[in-house]
């Protein structure tokens, strides 16, 4: 026999308050084939203490781990753009040499 959830549910006609959002009761989770897709993956990562201190200083109230994640994400996007730009330049140079 399954245990009943102790988490209160929300009726369709109940208004959603800012307090509900702030406490994390309402979290939109993406589902695929009925299963919740985890948006992030837990990892163990060792960083220099100076790097962690710098990110904590930069993040303030926001959370340094979020800032590290955003920085890494931006770095990968930059690398993709840089590689695309290199490829375009190579193609342009080949076109000029052939002409």
pTM: 0.50
Is the Cβ–Cβ distance between 30 and 37 less than 8 Å?
A: yes
Domain membership flag for residue 5: no
Domain membership flag for residue 1: no
Domain membership flag for residue 92: yes
- Residue 1 pLDDT class (50, 70, 90 cuts): low
Tell me the backbone φ, ψ of residue 91, rounded to 5 degrees: -65, -40
Domain membership flag for residue 69: yes
> What integer pLDDT is reported at residue 77 of this predicted model?
86
Residue with tokens 């220099």: 48
* pLDDT tens string 13-52: 677 777 777 776 666 666 777 776 777 788 899 999 999 9
> What integer pLDDT is reported at residue 10 of this predicted model?
55
Count of structural domains, the chain: 1
Say which residues have a Cβ less than 8 Å from residue 20's Cβ, sequence separation at least 6: 10, 26
> What integer pLDDT is reported at residue 48 of this predicted model?
96
- Domain limits for position 43: 18-98
> What integer pLDDT is reported at residue 26 of this predicted model?
64
Q: What average pLDDT score do residues 75-92 get?
A: 88
Domain membership flag for residue 94: yes
> What integer pLDDT is reported at residue 15 of this predicted model?
78
């Amino acid at each position: 026999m399954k245990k009943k959830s102790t988490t209160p549910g929300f009726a369709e006609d109940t208004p959603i308050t800012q307090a509900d959002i702030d406490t994390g009761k309402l979290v939109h989770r993406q589902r695929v084939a009925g299963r919740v897709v985890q948006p992030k993956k837990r990892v163990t990562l060792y960083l220099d203490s100076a790097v962690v201190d710098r990110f904590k200083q930069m993040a303030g109230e926001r959370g340094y781990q979020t800032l590290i994640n955003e920085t890494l994400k931006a770095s990968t996007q930059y690398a993709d753009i840089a590689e695309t730009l290199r490829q375009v330049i190579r193609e342009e140079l080949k076109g000029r040499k052939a002409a």
